[in-house]
Structure 1
């Protein structure tokens, strides 16, 4: 039997952020790494496409938060993000539209403090206290807590984590936690919105995730010129420089096993042998590539998990400029809990939805033809919901009408030069996403750390999983960390 330090031949299934990250770290350790991607380009949910009209759309992630975590990836390979793209700070970071007013969150932390104080007397000091605690959670959570493979709870027995366990607020819910600091409904919404995409109501998300407020508001909201896809291209280049080889338009159809080992994968009818396999594809889908006896989890397991939302997305090319629309705008004129209940309780299309609009052409002239706007609309939905085109169109009209009301523009629908919708069924067909989820598993307490799906197959020792359905969880920075965790575990593996 060879030691874990022996050069291995490793297959990575999928080239989302976790897959590229895993490929880069595994190749850096001297392994032969091959990445198999079903699409013609890398990125997974973070792919990009260009239209004949000249619009350039990022398909998924658009909030560049936790820049230090992303920078940490490049530092591990002796380079910097700035070696690949120009990262700028947005000012304002974003705008939130309420029923009677709008609030813009400025770039500088001192200006955010002033904004909070203007809305609620004493809120500046409360903001300081909140962010001081959030900074601790961020530094321990993102640098220590989320870097564990999560085989068992003993991994969290380090002095730093154990000593600060109470301060991590794992057992407090986010809503109650925020209400300790603020009473104004607008400030509460400003603090609660980042956790919506963690996959549950703020009532069910651990207060630990106030770390997101620090990673966003204090560290700032960034934008890579050329679009979020620049991060995908940069990471792919890093992985290739380590020796990783990418194979596009190659869909993995089967993981072949023998004597408790994964021996090969079947790709488009061809068989390729490997010493280890890292699956950054949808966890549930990956398991279907195995014979049933070798799957970590049964159908009933997935049916009882709480998934983060799916969403309705529209990519729109609009003729003419839209005044008074920021790069990031959150439309919160309706009640948050009503929309959340439609996702997690009632599992139906919301009657009074909230939604998010991204207009990168406000910052980046290269994503739309001159004098036009690039608009990305996103409305969170229950996974598994029925999403025929007529329903999508109904919500498009409502979203555009609310943008018109906010900006004073008229007849936006008649100015649409390019339109593409993307919803639950598309997540299923493109990414094999379980019930069309867009963000993975919810980060509820019962689905945190050791309680998430395991990164290693329990019966096939050389098959590993990475990405948003395992540790540490959903989001771009966590997915990058997930790839690093799994690569490390694969490198430790002894091969026969």
Structure 2
């Protein structure tokens, strides 16, 4: 890419990016590197979107992402800018990668070494080690094809699959097979099934409705391993911001974008905080539905409201950020509480859409790995319970679940934690709406269901406005940090094609 690439007439193109989550950060950096004048408009004071951080009482909390999977996706982005992750933070491989808790004495620690994981499987179910190797080899094929070829395509039409010789691959990738059926061909033990299916529950749909393609997640989790950026996820945001600023991006924070002014189906100006900014093109990496319904005039919207109502959303969640003034010996860095029925909780998230009766939940304790996120002798604890989008979340409801989850956490830990909580903050549906304009308070975007994979997702390019491109977890390729990074890259590349026409 040459520096004289993105010009309008003889001047650099003025490009506006709305939202500074990973998708917006990635898009802005690539556009600036290719010669555009880029301004990122961010509604909050801090960049990072759901990956913002906050400090309180000597604790540093990552507000959103806490799992660092698919390290090659980050590396691929850094490489565009001649750097790698070690220029910005120290990446540590966790051992155990994570723990799955089925009961007080029934904990599966997932070792970092894949051969050890195979032995663990074998000890639970005879014959499962060789099956796991086969399952993960398939997952690896899907990962290499899916994450390195397919996913960097913009998801515009079925023909992309053909151009990638991919239709026969699509059958191998099992884009059209159910994940839960696929997994059950390999494993019978309910604990192994839960272990394999958990990323699906937390990121996006009933396992029966999720394509078997997503066993690529298991390849990443079990074979590549689970990493942690020392200093927390805020360091990763910082690295993207540094790269963007070095490339020339301007960040405008605390900016409330109110309207995208258009003329002849082209955005001409962005209205924010009472000012009007000229714009040759826009990357909308804020909530897709919000941009469509709140910022565009009716005739410029790609999708009617009924379309959004009919989508399957990945979960929202109820989160607690806790500062605890003692050490909790039994906790690992990542702890998945699967001491209740997986299927039932999934139905309450995706089908019945109600507050769960006996929820599964996740506890992250980064102070196990990283002394900088909590005062000495203390633990930094982040508790996450996936829930349906659109629920009402008043304080008494949150408090009730706090006690339900803490009862189970304390039972597992074998000690009192509640009396040692010196800082506590909850975060849920209404906060996602307030802070990110998230449609129905979604936390993870659109579910990766069979009917919402790739070409079936909301389009990256507006159908009505020629110079508007979408990025983020409601479009291609889907929820999670690596897909959001990729999404920003695709949107930037599509926008450049448009301007260079």
TM-score by structure 1 length? 0.98
Q: Distance in 2 between matches of 1:145 and 1:340?
A: 28
1:294-340: CA deviations, max 9, x gaps? 10111111111110100000000011110110000000000001101
Match of 2:473 among 433, 449, 468: 468
Q: Unaligned stretches of 5+ in structure 2?
A: none
SS at match of 1:312: strand
SS at match of 1:124: helix
1:114-138: CA deviations, max 9, x gaps? 1111111111100100001000000
The match for 2:42 is 37
The match for 2:199 is 194
Kindly indicate whether the alpha-carbon contact (under 8 Å) linking 1:4 and 1:493 is maintained by their aligned counterparts in 2.
no
Is 2:83 aligned against 1:79? yes
Cα offset for 1:161? 2.2
SS at match of 1:164: helix
Match of 2:216 among 202, 211, 218: 211
Match of 2:366 among 348, 360, 365: 360
Kindly indicate whether the alpha-carbon contact (under 8 Å) linking 1:311 and 1:381 is maintained by their aligned counterparts in 2.
yes
The match for 2:345 is 339
Cα offset for 1:3? 9.0
Cα offset for 1:5? 5.6
Q: Distance in 1 between matches of 2:328 and 2:265?
A: 59
Kindly indicate whether the alpha-carbon contact (under 8 Å) linking 2:5 and 2:34 is maintained by their aligned counterparts in 1.
no
Is 2:31 aligned against 1:26? yes
The match for 1:9 is 14
Match of 1:485 among 483, 490, 493: 490
Any runs of at least 4 consecutive aligned residues in structure 1 with deviations exceeding 4 A, and if so which? 2-6
Written as runs of structure 1 = structure 2, the 5 A alignment for 1:394-473 is 394-410=400-416, 412-473=417-478
Q: Distance in 2 between matches of 1:398 and 1:363?
A: 27
Q: Distance in 2 between matches of 1:347 and 1:406?
A: 28
Written as runs of structure 1 = structure 2, the 5 A alignment for 1:120-131 is 120-131=125-136
Match of 2:376 among 352, 363, 370: 370
Kindly indicate whether the alpha-carbon contact (under 8 Å) linking 1:144 and 1:161 is maintained by their aligned counterparts in 2.
no
Cα offset for 1:160? 4.6
Q: Distance in 1 between matches of 2:142 and 2:427?
A: 35
Kindly indicate whether the alpha-carbon contact (under 8 Å) linking 1:140 and 1:160 is maintained by their aligned counterparts in 2.
no
Q: Distance in 2 between matches of 1:130 and 1:160?
A: 23
Is 2:315 aligned against 1:309? yes
Written as runs of structure 1 = structure 2, the 5 A alignment for 1:114-263 is 114-263=119-268
Kindly indicate whether the alpha-carbon contact (under 8 Å) linking 1:13 and 1:280 is maintained by their aligned counterparts in 2.
yes
Is 2:361 aligned against 1:351? no
Change in CA separation of 1:159 and 1:348 when aligned onto 2, cut-off 3 Å: closer
Q: Unaligned stretches of 5+ in structure 1?
A: none
Match of 1:299 among 301, 305, 310: 305
